[in-house]
Every structure is written in C-alpha cells, then in structure tokens.
Amino acid sequence: DGGITQSPKYLFRKEGQNVTLSCEQNLNHDAMYWYRQDPGQGLRLIYYSQIVNDFQKGDIAEGYSVSREKKESFPLTVTSAQKNPTAFYLCASTPRGFGANVLTFGAGSRLTVL
Amino acid sequence: QQQVKQSPQSLIVQKGGISIINCAYENTAFDYFPWYQQFPGKGPALLIAIRPDVSEKKEGRFTISFNKSAKQFSLHIMDSQPGDSATYFCAATDSWGKLQFGAGTQVVVTP
C-alpha cells in the first residue's frame, strides 16, 4: 500500500539534544512537507521540498533543518536551537508542489522534551 | 498571523445532531478551500473541498457552504455520529501558494 511512514511515533529528548524525525513515502510524489501541530494553532509549515536536493523554509523554520537526498525521504532534524520543540510533527507529500493538491499525511511523530 | 480564522475551537453535539464549523479568510486570491479530518494520533486526511465558483458542495453527510462576498465558508456535518468525533481543519490556498490552515475544531459527538 502506498503511503507515508513516519518514525519514531513517540520520542523523548533532553534539552540541548538534536533529534531527527524520519519521513519516507512510496507514493512517487515530488513534493514533501513538514508541519508542526500545536493545540489551538492548527498546522504550521516548517520546511518543504519540491524536488530532490532542493528545499525551502516555511513559516517557522528557525531551529529546524532538513535534507532531501532521495525522492522518497525527507528527514527533519529538531536542533537544540528550537526553543519550544515539544509538539506533534507531521510529514506530508503531494504529487507536485503547492496549489490545489491533496496533501497526504503520515501518522505523525510526537516529540516531548524533558 | 493566521490567514484563515476558524471557529469554534471545540463543540459537543448529540448523535443525530448537526455540527457546524465556520471559517473566514481575507485573501481574495484564495481559490481552493479544503477541509481535513484528523482522528487522535493520526495525520489529517482530506474530507471535502470546494472552489468559489459554487456555493455549496455535498458529499454524503458532509456539506460545505461557501459565501464568496462575505469571504466565509463552513462545514456542516448532518446526522452526526460518534465516529465523526475528530478534529476538523479548514484551509485555503491560491493556485500556486502554500496551504493556509485554520486553528482546528475538536468535535465530540455524544451517544
């Protein structure tokens, strides 16, 4: 079955540590996205990539980094510079970038900073 | 600031009742308005979407009403069922832009 796999589902981190969230898709989609979800704030775009080896900052990129070395993979690193990293992180993809494309989401990764 | 304002933040409805969620926007360039449904611990999934050339779109028990002049759109869930309990997000975008999400509405349908 085609879809997006995010791992780990739950992650605990001590302050000052970097963590990397995995996102893999087998939909053959060109574009991939990372969103952050906080209660009462909806979904906010962190980074997006419309093609391999290229990515752009979204609305809240500070404290995060990404890479897109393969079409099917778009890992997100939450660095120690992110001041409030505890959140639910969602990876998504579309056949092409932006516009009226249906986002396919993964099941999410919940990060808790202790 | 949030480009799509969504209300209420949460609502409780009895089984068989109607759930109504409202959204408003300012950017007149928006021309695609989807709604996403998210169950606890899962990612959102597209529920229904509308373009501004129609005033209403219905899919089963879910209806989007669109008021272009007022720059408002709403989701109606008819005959609400416990299985509809979820968080609903409205969103908007133009042909090339990033999808802008509302803050979400948590719907609880009581038996």
Across the range B94-102, mean pLDDT stands at 84
Predicted pLDDT at B2: 78
Contact status of B96 with chain A (Cβ, < 8 Å): yes
Please report, for residues A65, B33, B94, B101, the alpha-carbon distance to residue B74 in angstroms, rounded to integers and kept in the order given. 36, 10, 18, 14
Predicted pLDDT at A41: 84
Give the strand order in the sheet containing B62-67: B4-7, B19-25, B72-77, B62-67, B56-59
Contact status of A85 with chain B (Cβ, < 8 Å): no
A40–B41 C-beta distance less than 8 A: no
Helix, strand, coil percent values for chain A (each to nearest 5): 0, 55, 45
User: Which residues in chain B have Cβ-Cβ distances shorter than 8 Å to A43?
Assistant: 44, 89, 101
Amino acid at B79: D
Report the percent of chain A where pLDDT is more than 70: 96
User: Which residues in chain B have Cβ-Cβ distances shorter than 8 Å to A107?
Assistant: 41-43
Helix, strand, coil percent values for chain B (each to nearest 5): 5, 55, 40
Predicted pLDDT at B85: 98
CA distance B92 to B98: 8
CA distance A48 to A35: 9
pLDDT band at B109 (very low <50, low <70, confident <90, very high): very high
Residue A35 gets which letter from DSSP? E
Across the range B26-43, mean pLDDT stands at 94
pLDDT band at A2 (very low <50, low <70, confident <90, very high): confident
Contact status of B40 with chain A (Cβ, < 8 Å): no
Contact status of A2 with chain B (Cβ, < 8 Å): no
User: Which residues in chain A have Cβ-Cβ distances shorter than 8 Å to B93?
Assistant: 98-100
Q: B72-77 and B19-25: which strand pairing?
A: antiparallel
**pLDDT tens per residue across span A55-80:** 999 999 999 999 999 999 999 999 98
Contact status of B101 with chain A (Cβ, < 8 Å): yes
Nearest CB among B51, B97, B99 relative to A103 is that of B99
Contact status of A103 with chain B (Cβ, < 8 Å): yes
A98–B98 C-beta distance less than 8 A: yes
**pLDDT tens per residue across span A29-48:** 999 999 999 988 889 999 99
Across the range A86-112, mean pLDDT stands at 90
